[in-house]
Structure 1
Amino acid sequence: MTNAQKSSEILVRRVRTEDAAAVCQIHIDAVRQLCAPDYLPEYIEAWVGKLTPAIYERVIADWGETMFVAEQAGRIIGCSALSGNEVRAVYVNPLHARQGVGTLLMRFLEKEAVARCIPKLRLTASLNAELFYQKHGYKVVERSWHILPCGTKIPCIFMEKNLR
């Protein structure tokens, strides 16, 4: 295998506390760039404007979510999170969007859910992510609003998928 082949491989692994800054930046960049066509700037600012690596350090250490990161050539290029039967996040660095990174992260989350005997996964999709989740078998339950921690309401789509 050549060095070019090795550097293009994507490794998915569980998140570590030292990944907090990279995960935070991916979340911010993904929302600011990939969600911009579907959300007003004030929604995007409310969504990610106050995120910090320290917040992610606490999430990784204390919240009990199962989180994964996708790495390529030693750099984190995507992240995902599962909490109980809820997919909490799938974010990909915009430079790596639509290259299969999100799909790899979804596979790991679903494999984890199956291993835990979770029969159905639920998620709150951003408007720009609806087609991604539909492609992975998720069905629209309801178009609604998501309330961000700061209290701002943004449009979203509640979706679910039976794993059995």
Structure 2
Amino acid sequence: MPEPAMLRIRPARVNDAKALVALHYAAVHAVSPGHYTPAQLAAWSPLPDAARHAWLRGVICTPTLRVLVGEVDGQPCGFAIADLAEGRVNALYVAPAHAGCGLGRALLAACEHALQAQGHAQGTVRASLNAEAFYAAAGYRALGPALQPLADGSALPCVEMSRPLI
């Protein structure tokens, strides 16, 4: 019987940006058909390039954002971004090969802990349509449909959700 994988959550480092952009691309483009069109997926996560790497390095360095990396056996396999000022989980992605291993739940718990530490009693998220069930299973309640603005000026249909943190 194989040994269980070792999960670890740590703060992101600037040199993680390239790997995390690639992970984001893989996770978004693995979304099952029916939730979003190929054009929406391409707008949500375009091909990784130097501009996207630079953008994520900037996000990692933003003091009001907490970027967390989830590692499995020492390799980055997921990441999340918590907006400490707004009390919001801005992003949470897990590599397709590691979906269902508990990494997403661990990243979400770490984000919620960071939001609580900043005094937020409520956590919010704009859940993608494919992630709504994940957040509901974690205790988030759907507030209604929403749109998530994308870098190309389009917007992605999603669900505004919230959960008490205390």
- Asked whether the two chains share a fold, i.e. TM above 0.5, the reply is yes
Shift of 1:36: 4.2
| SS at structure 1 position matched to 2:105 | helix
- Mapped to 1, the partners of 2:102 and 2:163 lie a distance apart of 20
Query: Quick check: which one's helix share is greater?
Result: 1
Decide which moves more: 41-50 or 61-70.
61-70
Report if aligned partners of 1:68, 1:80 keep a CA contact under 8 Å in 2: yes
Report if aligned partners of 1:34, 1:94 keep a CA contact under 8 Å in 2: no
Q: 1:56 — aligned with what? A: 56
Report if aligned partners of 2:125, 2:160 keep a CA contact under 8 Å in 1: yes
2:15 maps to 1:18: yes
Percent identity, please. 29
Q: 2:35 — aligned with what? A: 38
- Mapped to 1, the partners of 2:21 and 2:165 lie a distance apart of 29
Task: Note the 1:65-80 alignment, pairs <5 A.
Answer: 65-80=65-80
- For structure 1, the 5+ residue unaligned runs are none
Q: Would the alpha carbon gap of residues 101 and 154 (structure 1) be closer, same or farther in structure 2, given more than 3 Å must change? A: same
Cα deviation code 1:54-103 (max 9, x no counterpart): 22111112363101101122210000010120100110000001111100
Q: 2:123 — aligned with what? A: 121
- Mapped to 1, the partners of 2:32 and 2:66 lie a distance apart of 24
- Mapped to 2, the partners of 1:54 and 1:162 lie a distance apart of 34
Report if aligned partners of 1:36, 1:44 keep a CA contact under 8 Å in 2: no
Q: 1:29 — aligned with what? A: 26
Aligned residues: 160
Task: Note the 1:84-163 alignment, pairs <5 A.
Answer: 84=85, 85-163=87-165
- Mapped to 2, the partners of 1:96 and 1:78 lie a distance apart of 8
Stretches of 4+ moved more than 4 A in 1? none
- For structure 2, the 5+ residue unaligned runs are none
| SS at structure 2 position matched to 1:62 | coil
What's the TM-score, normalizing by structure 1? 0.90
What's the TM-score, normalizing by structure 2? 0.89
- Mapped to 2, the partners of 1:42 and 1:160 lie a distance apart of 28
| SS at structure 1 position matched to 2:30 | helix
Q: Would the alpha carbon gap of residues 63 and 45 (structure 1) be closer, same or farther in structure 2, given more than 3 Å must change? A: farther
